[in-house]
Structure 1
Amino acid sequence: MVETWTRWREDVEREGMRFAPAPEYHVFPTRERPLKPYEAVRRATGVTRELVARERPDVVVSDILTLAPALAAELEGVPWATLIPHVDPRGDAGFPPYSVGARLPRTAIGRRWWRTFDPLVGRGLSLGRDELNETRARLGLPPLDHVHGGISRSLALVATFPQLEYPRRAPLPNTHVVGPLQWEPPFGDVEPPPGTDPLVLVAPSTAQDRDGRMLRAALAGLADLPVRVLASTNRRGETDGFDVPANARLVDWVSYSRAMPRCDLVVCHVGHGTLMRALAAGVPVVACPAAGDMNENAARADWAGVGVRLPRRLVTRTGLRLAVTRALATPSLGARARELAAWAATHDPGRRAVELVERLAAAG
């Protein structure tokens, strides 16, 4: 992401437009000084507005969860765009509620059943709109009639594979699925275990599963399979506390961009970044969602035919062994993942995003 952001800056400045990155201010709640979320947004907006007023950028681009830059831009009359760094969370008729982990139904009956949840989802969205409008009123901005007020109606960039987006009755206004915007810290090669058996990468989340439940289950469950296992603790500390079988190698860190193209399968918590990297390399996944958005990512991977879902309760030695065996024995998963990799090889999401941002700035 940082690499693409840097390219955006270089391209934008080359075109003669001014660029001002949103500052990082510590305005979120703390134990010493707890704040309600929207109170933190209000305070951050005041500070960010000073930057926007001083720099006068042609356009402001902010993350979907970062409301302060968007509100500051609106206060200063500057066009603003939203980056959605995962699948689009906005639903449509018949869509399951976002992040519950259910995939798009196949039949009209299934779609009608999920529509019974629309009033509940609608109430939640309305509550969010009312809370945002309260903050907007305190900042001197008019209220919004629509929900998802934190997503720009001028330009929304959805940084995921279009093949993971559910079909909608009508396109969302000024929304573009540009493809994954990827970045990772530089790191060298890590050699997998020797041999010719299929290579399975175990890639735990950096934010979830602090006890390493999935990692331990994978090391144990894959020990007696004809596979090679390259696993990472993702800098959780020493690797000595794990039982590493003979067919596995456990390391502290691994470069996904270097390791995944050599793999046959990725076992992960299906955070969006890890999923994008695996699919860009043409590798299917065993999706073991830990929480929140990961449930949605697992459902999309299953729906798109690029992975096998394993619910949290089944992330055990036996469960992972069966899931990996099934994934490796299903050629269509790898074929579909390679289709997405071919799409990625012929598209430049960063360039597309730059073009759209430049178009917004020119129209501003």
Structure 2
Amino acid sequence: MRVLFTVSDWPGHWSAMVPLGWALQAAGHEVRVVCAPSQEEPLARAGLTAVPVLDGWDMAFQGRLQNYLNAGKDLWPYPEPPLHPVTGEPLADLADFDLGGWFKENVPVLSERARRSTDAAVGFARWWRPDVQVHDLVSIEGLLLGRVLGIPSAVHLWGPAGTDEHEPGLTLVPVDMSRSFERYAVGEPGFDRLTHVIDPNPAALAPALLGAERLPVRFVPYNGPGAVPGWLAELPERPRVCVVWGTSVSEMFGEVSFTVPKVVEALSDLGVEVVLTLTGADRDRMEGELPDGVRLLERVPLHLLLPHCDLVVHHGGAGCVMTALAAGVPQLALTNGVEQRLNADRIAAAGAGLGLSNAAVEVAQIRAAAERLLRDPAHRAAAERLRAENEARPAPADLVRTLEQLAARQPAAVGGAHR
């Protein structure tokens, strides 16, 4: 069986798909991943074969653009304006970026890039003739191929956000800049015609879907390659708290969102061991500022650390949320964006964590929330329940059999009129 993965330009969007790719390959199936050139190296490190033919929008730009649009709707949480969507530099005022003028000047270029991207994806798929397709939630090419190819197709969720979300400011349906759905005569882009959704969420977090069949799967964390640090086998003398801060937060929300110094200060009074996982510029910001009991790491996969922690503090990203869930660790999420807040709210509703708005949070609030999560056994018990629910779900190897059955019901076809 040939299985085509189609992914967007951000590892956090497709990392949840990696264990399924491994399972398919271990079962003897061929897997190819249609992606942008920027994802070729991360996919190779994950052991998957990339097809780097896409040329769509940069995801960091899309995130900053969404923040700019949200600021115009009073959905931006900070008193400072968001970053310039294109340059990533701070704006003094929203009026300093001429959105209409920029689009008027750049839409022809963006549309042509999008056309090349979607046409390249269709061209490769028609040549390779996959039996099944799996794509991430915001991959416009994946959404398109599911209709053009006439083969079974499934979207793979990366966390608690589903296909039927109505949070103001949350836009998950990808933009069809080249009008590819019209050009291939397959209707309008949207999630309403999805037939299968691979859902890694335990029942307590299961998001709403637009009528598609839910294919449950166990969330198996993949946070990149790495090695187990030798000190991790040593039993800590005090509770261990892991602090995770993704580089994407500063890249999309600016330096004003970098709350790690506040977190370190808040935890310093709780008698805990603190493990910071930071990379790049975020790591540089913390050099020379670490008190006793704080360890600074770089590029240690999160799934290796969290099973040995008593609490994780993070920015609310789905990768952190789901990895902590799989480890059975209580979570404190300091959120910036709408999806991050959605993730935090659903973990809190399940009793396994708490969420605070990063834009307004103070040291005392972080300290009180961390202390509550460390001392109240109900949160640990809820986190353990989520871990147990996750482990009881079908493994990726079981999902392979489901995809095999879907492929067997419908022979591969490569139709779709191209105009």
TM-score after normalising by structure 1 = 0.78
C-alpha distance 294-21 of structure 1, shift in aligned 2 (>3 A): same
C-alpha distance 234-199 of structure 1, shift in aligned 2 (>3 A): same
Partner Cα separation in structure 1 for residue 285 and residue 186 of structure 2: 54
Per the alignment, residue 221 of structure 1 pairs with: 266
Per the alignment, residue 109 of structure 1 pairs with: none
Residue 57 (str. 1) matches residue 130 (str. 2): yes
Which of 184, 187, 195 is residue 143 of structure 1 equivalent to?
187
C-alpha distance 136-301 of structure 1, shift in aligned 2 (>3 A): same
C-alpha distance 132-180 of structure 1, shift in aligned 2 (>3 A): farther
Per the alignment, residue 258 of structure 1 pairs with: 304
| Structure 1 unaligned regions, length at least 5 | 102-123
Which of 45, 48, 56 is residue 121 of structure 2 equivalent to?
48
The one-letter code of the counterpart of 2:228 is: D
Aligned residues: 326
Partner Cα separation in structure 2 for residue 234 and residue 340 of structure 1: 29
Partner Cα separation in structure 2 for residue 267 and residue 182 of structure 1: 17
Give CA-to-partner distance per residue, 1:20-50, whole Å, 9 cap, x none. 4323334124779944777654432211111
Secondary structure at 1:187 match in 2: coil
Partner Cα separation in structure 1 for residue 159 and residue 192 of structure 2: 13
Secondary structure at 2:393 match in 1: coil
Root-mean-square deviation (CA, aligned residues, Å) is 3.3
Secondary structure at 1:207 match in 2: helix
Per the alignment, residue 46 of structure 2 pairs with: none
- % same residue: 23
Partner Cα separation in structure 2 for residue 252 and residue 233 of structure 1: 6
Per the alignment, residue 21 of structure 1 pairs with: 33
Partner Cα separation in structure 1 for residue 396 and residue 219 of structure 2: 8
Q: How far apart are residue 244 of structure 1 and its match?
A: 1.1
Per the alignment, residue 187 of structure 1 pairs with: 226
Q: How far apart are residue 200 of structure 1 and its match?
A: 0.7
C-alpha distance 29-199 of structure 1, shift in aligned 2 (>3 A): closer
- Structure 1 residues 170-319: aligned runs within 5 Å: 172-190=211-229, 191=231, 195-209=236-250, 211=255, 213-236=258-281, 237-238=283-284, 241-319=287-365
Partner Cα separation in structure 2 for residue 203 and residue 130 of structure 1: 30
Partner Cα separation in structure 2 for residue 255 and residue 300 of structure 1: 24
Q: How far apart are residue 172 of structure 1 and its match?
A: 3.1
Give CA-to-partner distance per residue, 1:101-138, whole Å, 9 cap, x none. 9xxxxxxxxxxxxxxxxxxxxxx99xx79968953222
Alignment check: 8 A CA contact 1:231 1:250 kept? yes
Secondary structure at 2:247 match in 1: coil
Partner Cα separation in structure 2 for residue 260 and residue 222 of structure 1: 17
C-alpha distance 142-230 of structure 1, shift in aligned 2 (>3 A): closer
Partner Cα separation in structure 1 for residue 340 and residue 322 of structure 2: 12
Which of 157, 160, 164 is residue 84 of structure 1 equivalent to?
157
C-alpha distance 320-75 of structure 1, shift in aligned 2 (>3 A): same
- Structure 1 residues 66-145: aligned runs within 5 Å: 66-91=139-164, 97-98=166-167, 134-139=179-184, 141-144=185-188
Give CA-to-partner distance per residue, 1:249-294, whole Å, 9 cap, x none. 1222333222111111000112111111111111010011121311
C-alpha distance 248-281 of structure 1, shift in aligned 2 (>3 A): same
TM-score after normalising by structure 2 = 0.68
Per the alignment, residue 320 of structure 1 pairs with: 366
The one-letter code of the counterpart of 1:7 is: A
Partner Cα separation in structure 1 for residue 57 and residue 177 of structure 2: 17
Secondary structure at 1:53 match in 2: helix
Alignment check: 8 A CA contact 1:20 1:52 kept? no
Partner Cα separation in structure 2 for residue 173 and residue 26 of structure 1: 27
Alignment check: 8 A CA contact 2:277 2:300 kept? yes
Give CA-to-partner distance per residue, 1:168-201, whole Å, 9 cap, x none. 6x98331223232421222223436985221111
